[in-house]
């Protein structure tokens, strides 16, 4: 079912719901936002497992990228400037002196054209003009949401007419407890990662790659978010008693579990890094579907290439050239104990 709504002058947006037995996924063409996902707990009770708001106005006033497509470049670009093929480009500085998540008006605020809508598939397209937020080149982005059973796959492909950096992600905040009845500190997370990228006080990667062994960033066999958030370790205290760290993936699935509800989420991706952010900077001056926003109410699993890669020569190349097609794909599969 789709609903066409006018919530703000000159902004028409579409809410479209993908459905399969046991799952409902509401997506907006504003920001490509995954606004709601409802799945069952171990007792079969269908509840929301993401943080989402009710109107475009709420997103513009409060949202820290809830559910949105983030780009052109996810994460921070240091000093809000970059060099591409010998030309220096100043970018929008929207995080102190740095550029964050595509700038002041990134893809998270774009109105996407709806190309196709069915019960299990939504195809969105956005054309980002040359010079947007300081980036060179006109970029055409196609985002396809495909629901297959209890698995939602988001595929993004983009082309450009000038060399430009692209490093997209989806910025959904997960909370598997159901309708936000608990925070995520007692969620259990398993990440197949032997190394992480340490970040400085400004949350920019330092350029190093470190072993997770013996630190609260070792999620290889699974651990609770609380075990790290309350560890007193310098890495997690620097991130606000939580996590805001990129992990270099080594295969297999990322697995998030809520032991109390029995729900789990498995994330597979073609991207080399996942940024774990545990919502430590969530503000408290608004509500999310009737629940007061607060730190640790949700966590993000942002699959992408290494943050600040456009500035770090040791990180993978994120420049896309006119004869290339950018590709990003991540699947979110839901289940419960014993499934």
- Is 62 noted as a catalytic residue in this protein? no
- Residue 80: phi and psi, rounded to 5, are 50, 45
Among this protein's residues, is 171 annotated catalytic?
A: yes
Query: Exactly one of 47, 257, 266, 302 is catalytic; which is it?
Result: 302
Q: Give the span between the Cα atoms of 150 and 22, in whole angstroms.
A: 7
Q: Please give the torsion angle defined by the CA atoms of residues 196, 277, 217 and 184, in that order, rounded to the nearest 10 degrees.
A: -160
Q: Annotated catalytic residue: which of 98, 101, 171, 245?
A: 171
3-class DSSP state of 299 = strand
Contact 125, 309 (CB under 8 A): no
Q: Under a CB-based contact definition with an 8 Å cutoff, are residues 174 and 298 in contact?
A: yes
Residue with tokens 């032997």: 194
> For residue 72, is the peptide bond before it cis, meaning its omega torsion is within 30 degrees of 0?
yes
Tokens of residue 270, six digits: 């073609």
Alpha helix ranges (H) inside 68-218: none
Q: Which are the catalytic amino acids?
A: 171, 302
């Amino acid at each position: 079912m789709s609903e066409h709504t006018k919530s703000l002058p000159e902004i028409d947006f579409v809410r479209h719901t993908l459905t399969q037995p046991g799952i409902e996924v509401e997506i907006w063409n504003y920001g490509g936002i995954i606004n709601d996902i409802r799945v069952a707990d171990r007792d079969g009770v269908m509840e929301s497992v993401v943080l989402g708001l009710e109107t475009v106005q709420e997103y513009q006033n409060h949202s820290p990228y809830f559910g949105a497509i983030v780009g052109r470049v996810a994460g921070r670009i240091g000093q809000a400037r970059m060099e591409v093929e010998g030309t220096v480009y100043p970018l929008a500085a929207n995080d102190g002196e740095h550029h964050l998540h595509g700038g002041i008006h990134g893809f998270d605020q774009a109105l996407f054209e709806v190309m196709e809508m069915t019960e299990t598939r939504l195809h969105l397209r956005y054309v980002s003009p040359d010079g947007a937020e300081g980036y060179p080149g006109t970029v055409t982005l196609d985002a396809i949401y495909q629901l297959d059973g209890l698995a939602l796959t988001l595929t993004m492909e983009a082309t450009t007419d000038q060399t430009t950096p692209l490093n997209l992600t989806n910025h959904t905040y997960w909370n598997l407890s159901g309708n936000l009845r608990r925070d995520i500190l007692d969620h259990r997370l398993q990440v197949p990662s032997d190394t992480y990228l340490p970040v400085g006080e400004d949350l920019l990667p330092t350029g190093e790659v470190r072993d997770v062994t013996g630190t609260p960033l070792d999620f290889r066999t699974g651990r609770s978010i609380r075990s790290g958030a309350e560890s007193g370790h310098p890495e997690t205290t620097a991130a606000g008693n939580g996590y805001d760290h990129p992990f270099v993936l080594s295969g297999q699935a990322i697995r998030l579990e809520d032991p109390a509800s029995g729900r789990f989420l498995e994330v597979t991706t073609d991207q080399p890094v996942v940024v774990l952010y545990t919502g430590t900077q969530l503000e408290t001056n608004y509500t999310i579907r009737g629940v007061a926003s607060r730190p640790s109410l949700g966590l993000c699993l942002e699959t992408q290439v290494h943050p600040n890669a456009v500035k770090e020569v040791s990180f993978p190349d994120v420049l896309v050239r006119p004869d290339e097609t950018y590709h990003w794909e991540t699947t979110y599969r839901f289940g419960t104990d014993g499934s």
